[in-house]
């Protein structure tokens, strides 16, 4: 069974702490993504990686950074957590057939982790 | 692609009812439309990916249609069951973005 695994289901942190959210996929996918989901809003892309050590900013990268040192692992880092970063964070991965017209447009389905609910107090 | 709208926001139906939701999007620069089902405490799961105008896809009691000229997709569930209770997400790829709608939350009462 293919899997995207996020390291924590729930996390509580204090304002100003450095926070690491880890994501691992076992499908040898090239693309990996970090999204956040807030009530009443669609999933919003924070960062995207299309290869090891490669990253692209999504729609809301401010306050976040990412690391992809190995193909299977994509980490999201909150350098100094703030209360407005309280949210559900979802990691996803997808296969890249090399036919997409741009980095961000795809007809390949996303495989998601089960999410990390982060509360920043 | 500027905005992906899903309606209704939420829906309460009885077991056995058939139901449908809508995903609307700007039709310019369209590349693909995705439907996902997200059950509480689980991972969102892909239902369909559609690319061609007039596409119809079916998976069991769930089916979807796509109209890229007018910019909408319908998701249908025939004979809803309690296990269909979930949030249904639509995502549209085009131009330089893939944008998710806010989802339709379906509650099916036994």
Contacts of A104 (CB under 8 A, 6+ apart): A45, A48, A56, B93, B96, B97, B98
Chain A residues touching chain B at CB-CB below 8 Å: 4, 35, 40-45, 59, 90, 100-115
Q: Give the A:B interface size as CB pairs under 8 Å.
A: 65
CA dist list (Å): B42 to A9, A90, A116, B31, B35: 10, 11, 11, 28, 16
Query: Residue B97 pLDDT > 90, yes or no?
Result: no
Q: Do residues A33 and A25 touch, judged by C-beta distance below 8 A?
A: no
pLDDT of residue B65: 98
| Phi, psi (deg, nearest 5) at residue A102 | -140, 170
Interchain pair A107, B95: CB under 8 A: no
Please state, in angstroms and rounded to a whole number, the distance separating the CA atoms of residues B30 and B69.
9
Tokens 């100003």 correspond to A16
Arithmetic mean of pLDDT over chain B? 93
How much of chain B exceeds pLDDT 90, in percent?
Answer: 85
Interchain pair A42, B99: CB under 8 A: yes
Q: What is the pLDDT of residues A50-109, one digit of tens each?
A: 889 999 999 999 999 999 999 999 999 999 999 999 999 999 998 876 666 666 667 788
Q: Do residues A105 and A50 touch, judged by C-beta distance below 8 A?
A: no
**How many beta carbons lie within 10 A of that of residue B67, not counting itself?**
14
pLDDT band of residue B93 (cuts 50, 70, 90) is confident
For residue A68, what are its two tokens?
Answer: 């992809």
Q: Which of B66-70, B92-96, B98-102 reaches the highest mean pLDDT?
A: B66-70
Across the interface, which of B31, B36, B42 has its CB nearest the CB of A101?
A: B31
Interchain pair A40, B100: CB under 8 A: no
pLDDT of residue B83: 96
Across the interface, which of B4, B98, B101 has its CB nearest the CB of A106?
A: B98
pLDDT of residue A2: 67
Find chain B residues with C-beta within 8 A of A106's C-beta: 31-32, 93, 98
Please state, in angstroms and rounded to a whole number, the distance separating the CA atoms of residues B58 and B64.
7
pLDDT band of residue B95 (cuts 50, 70, 90) is low
Q: What is the pLDDT of residues B45-85, one digit of tens each?
A: 999 999 999 999 999 999 999 999 999 999 999 999 999 99
Query: Residue B1 pLDDT > 60, yes or no?
Result: no
Q: Which region among A14-23, A90-99, B17-26 has the lowest average model confidence (pLDDT)?
A: A90-99
Nearest to B101 by CA among B8, B2, B1, B3: B3
Please state, in angstroms and rounded to a whole number, the distance separating the CA atoms of residues B60 and B62.
6
């Amino acid at each position: 069974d293919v899997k995207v695994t996020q390291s924590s289901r729930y996390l509580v942190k204090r304002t100003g702490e450095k926070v690491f959210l880890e994501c691992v996929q076992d499908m040898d996918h090239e693309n990996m993504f970090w999204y956040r989901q807030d009530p009443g809003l669609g999933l919003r892309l924070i960062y995207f990686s299309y290869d090891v050590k490669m990253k692209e900013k999504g729609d809301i990268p401010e306050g976040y950074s990412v690391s992809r040192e190995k193909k299977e692992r994509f980490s999201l880092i909150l350098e100094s957590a703030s209360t407005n970063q309280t949210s559900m964070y979802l990691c996803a991965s997808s296969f890249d057939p090399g036919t997409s017209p741009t980095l961000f447009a795809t007809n390949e389905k996303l495989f998601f982790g089960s999410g990390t609910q982060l509360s920043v107090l | 692609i500027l905005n992906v709208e899903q309606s209704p926001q939420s829906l309460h139906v009885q077991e056995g009812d058939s139901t449908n939701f809508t995903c609307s999007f700007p039709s310019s620069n369209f590349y693909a439309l995705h439907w996902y089902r997200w059950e509480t405490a689980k991972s969102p799961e892909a239902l369909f990916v559609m690319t061609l105008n007039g596409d119809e896809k079916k998976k069991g009691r769930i089916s979807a249609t796509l109209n890229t000229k007018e910019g909408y997709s319908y998701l249908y569930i025939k004979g809803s069951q309690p296990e269909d209770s979930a949030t249904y997400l639509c995502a549209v790829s085009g131009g330089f973005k893939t944008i998710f709608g806010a989802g339709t939350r379906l509650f099916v009462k036994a």
